[in-house]
DNA sequence: CAGTGGTCTAGACCACAAT
DNA sequence: TTGTGGTCTAGACCACTGT
């Protein structure tokens, strides 16, 4: 002891912990396996629970762990590749897209969206809610804003709200010519409503994909889709689900 | 008082705090302005410093705040739109791309990268480091992995490492025909080296953009670019830098 | 019910930047 | 040196999930 004490730059404990845990995950745990609880782990490493939690939080952020209140901490499977490419340049709701309509109401769009739609900030638009499921798990929740002007022929026959109404709006959208679209990705934290759809706590990290759909020189619709950042990898090319592993997996049988 | 005490679902303090602060930022602070220090703020809201910090952390994650040790907490400007589209289908280093070569060494690629390159896990490849600057601020750090087989004519004349070597490798890459590329975005946390380039602390949230370059049926190079998640919005369309504001800005004069 | 992760407190000390 | 944010502690209680 004492011979290797050249630590000029003292690494934070939680950072070192994270490294140690990460290596342990690679070599000693299988996907889905549950870890010891936080109090035991903290004791085992000789740190306060808050410090241990700081390390776990980072590992969860990186998609290595999954924590559920009342249940425990489990080793997460590799992130799911979710295709987000603008392949067909299709409208949302085109046949075979990955989304499922949930609801539709009329409401004012948030300022940032009204800005993109070039509508008045208080103008009521159609707000569709859709969800996207992959491998049986919900991966994204979307709010799709459609100005009334984009679906002029929408009949009053359909229900004023609900999933049926949402499908009606999407159907009307298809009648427009789609000139192109435009996409951005940024980090955000889940609002309470999105968190519920995604089976996460409010504030959970999400990747927010904002898409603008152009038709006849104007922005005909805006989609704000929030993907679970812990479980998703957004893919834009033609190779949706290549296995990316962090380390050699334990062999099966 | 007491008439509105119907809170069936008690909101966490830090969540409520975040909302309050967020609204204050919209209405009472200008970009670049410095907030009161954490101890004062915590006292003002009647919470422990750790709780206040939980709220500040979320706001920083959302790009609303910027915190620097020894300096203070400032109101962040809107996120910068950074173009990441695969427009020209060009090789990295093509004339006019946004990157600046920093260094080049030979090293073994990490397992996940070796996998994509279809090289042996311990095979030495060229590892280029580049950085990307936007509006005077570093926004991304990249590691570009190039197998020796992709640049067979690389001469020994050039320096064995350093920026000049990096440019030489890029120059050789241009000679290959580029069949296409393939991109993925996911959330990560900055490694120590990337954090240094990005002027952030290790562990800071980053958007990791993985690009595979295909040539003649094989993966000729792999790029792993880490973008500052707090300050960047990755854009894929043709509208790189539309202003997205969270709320009405205070008027300038 | 018992056990888990989530929230919160009131302190302490450290690393860094500006003065 | 002063003041800032970053790390860390040793507790406490709450909300949720399972049995």
Alpha-carbon distances of B98 from A108, B138, B142, B162, rounded to whole Å: 39, 11, 12, 19
- Min Cα–Cα distance to chain B from A121, Å: 11
A residues 120..159 contacting B (CB < 8 A): none
Measured CA to CA, the distance from residue B12 to residue B21 in angstroms comes to 14
Q: What is the pLDDT of residue B62?
A: 95
pLDDT of B156: 66
How far is Cα A33 from Cα A1, in angstroms, rounded to an integer?
35
Do strands B80-83 and B232-235 pair parallel, antiparallel, or not at all (unpaired)? parallel
Which is more confident, B253 or A55?
Answer: A55
Closest chain A residue to the Cα of B238, Cα to Cα = A182
pLDDT of A166 strictly over 90: yes
A37 touches strand C (CB under 7 A): yes
Are β-strands A180-189 and A232-235 bridged in parallel, bridged antiparallel, or unpaired? unpaired
Between CA A141 and CA A244 the distance in angstroms is: 24
pLDDT at res. B88: 52
Inter-residue contact A104 to A127 (CB < 8 Å)? yes
Provide residues 43-82 of B with CB closer than 7 Å to any strand C atom: 46-51, 54, 68-71
Q: Which residues pair with B128 in a beta bridge?
A: B104, B144
Q: Residues with Cβ < 8 Å from B136, sequence gap 6 or more?
A: none
Strand, helix or coil for residue A103? strand
Q: What is the end-to-end Cα distance of chain A in Å, rounded?
A: 41
* Domains of chain B listed by start with CATH number: 13-75 (1.10.10.10), 81-235 (3.40.1410.10)
CA A7 to chain CA centroid, Å, is 39
Q: Encode pLDDT of A213-228 as tens digits.
A: 999 889 999 999 999 9
Among the residue ranges A9-23, A116-130, B77-91, B136-150, the one predicted with the least confidence is B77-91
- Report yes or no: B235 at the A interface, CB cutoff 8 Å: yes
Identify all chain A residues contacting B200, using CB atoms and an 8 Å cutoff. none
Instruction: Give CA–CA dist B206/B187, Å, rounded.
Output: 6
pLDDT for res B87: 62
10-residue stretch averages of pLDDT, chain B, 253 residues long: 44 96 95 97 98 97 96 96 79 85 94 93 94 90 95 74 90 90 94 92 94 92 96 77 40 29
Tell me the β-bridge partners of A206. A188, A228
| Chain A residues lying within 8 Å of B187, measured CB to CB | 61-63, 187, 205, 207, 229-230
Provide the 3-class DSSP secondary structure of residue A86.
coil
Please choose, from the candidates A24, A76, A97, A15, the residue with its C-alpha nearest in 3D space to the C-alpha of residue A229.
A76
User: A residues 8-27 near B, CB within 8 Å?
Assistant: 15, 18
Extract the tokens encoding A11: 């690494």
Mean pLDDT of A181-209: 93
Tokens of A120: 């008045």
How far does the CA of A70 sit from the C1' of D18, in Å?
8
Residue A241 pLDDT exceeds 70: no
Classify residue A111 as exposed, middle or buried by CB count within 10 Å of its CB (0-12, 13-18, 19+). Answer: middle
A139-154 burial string, b = 16+ CB within 10 Å, else e? bbbbbbbbbeebbeeb
Contact A233 B186 (CB under 8 A): yes
CB A190 within 8 A of CB A203: yes
Q: Do B111 and A247 touch (CB under 8 A)?
A: yes
**Distance, CA of B6 to CA of B13 (rounded, Å):** 16
Residues in chain B closer than 8 A to A62 (CB atoms): 187-189
Contact flag B233-A188 (C-beta cutoff 8 Å): no
B-chain residues within 8 Å CB-CB of A186? 63, 79, 207, 229, 232-234
Alpha-helical segments (H) within chain B = 13-28, 38-45, 49-61, 111-117, 163-173, 192-198
Q: Please report the pLDDT score of residue B76 as a whole number.
A: 97
Nearest-neighbour CA in chain B from A10: distance (Å): 13
At B131, is the secondary structure helix, strand, or coil? strand
Looking only at the bridges linking them, the beta strands covering A232-235 and A72-75 are unpaired
Strand D within 7 A of B163 CB: no
């Amino acid at each position: 002891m004492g011979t290797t004490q050249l630590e000029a730059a003292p690494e934070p404990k939680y950072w070192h912990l994270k490294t140690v845990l990460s290596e342990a995950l690679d070599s000693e745990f299988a996907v889905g396996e549950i870890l010891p609880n936080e109090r035991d782990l903290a004791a085992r490493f000789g740190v306060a629970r808050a410090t241990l939690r700081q390390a776990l939080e980072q590992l969860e952020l990186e998609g290595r762990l999954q924590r559920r209140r009342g249940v425990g901490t489990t080793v997460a499977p590799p992130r799911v590749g979710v295709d987000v490419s603008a392949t067909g340049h299709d409208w949302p709701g085109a046949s075979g897209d990955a989304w499922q309509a949930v609801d539709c109401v009329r409401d004012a769009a948030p300022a940032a969206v009204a800005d993109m739609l070039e509508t008045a900030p208080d103008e009521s638009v159609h707000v569709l809610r859709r969800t996207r499921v992959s491998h049986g798990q919900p991966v994204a929740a979307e709010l799709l804003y459609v100005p009334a002007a984009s679906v002029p022929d929408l009949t009053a026959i359909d229900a004023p709200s609900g999933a049926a109404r949402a499908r009606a709006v999407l159907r009307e959208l298809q009648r427009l010519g789609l000139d192109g679209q435009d996409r951005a990705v940024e980090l955000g934290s889940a609002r309470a409503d999105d968190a519920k759809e995604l089976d996460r706590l409010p504030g959970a990290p999400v990747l927010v994909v904002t898409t603008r759909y152009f038709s006849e020189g104007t922005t005909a619709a805006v989609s704000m889709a929030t993907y679970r950042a812990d479980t998703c990898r957004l893919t834009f090319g033609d190779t949706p689900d290549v296995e990316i592993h962090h380390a050699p997996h334990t062999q099966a049988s």
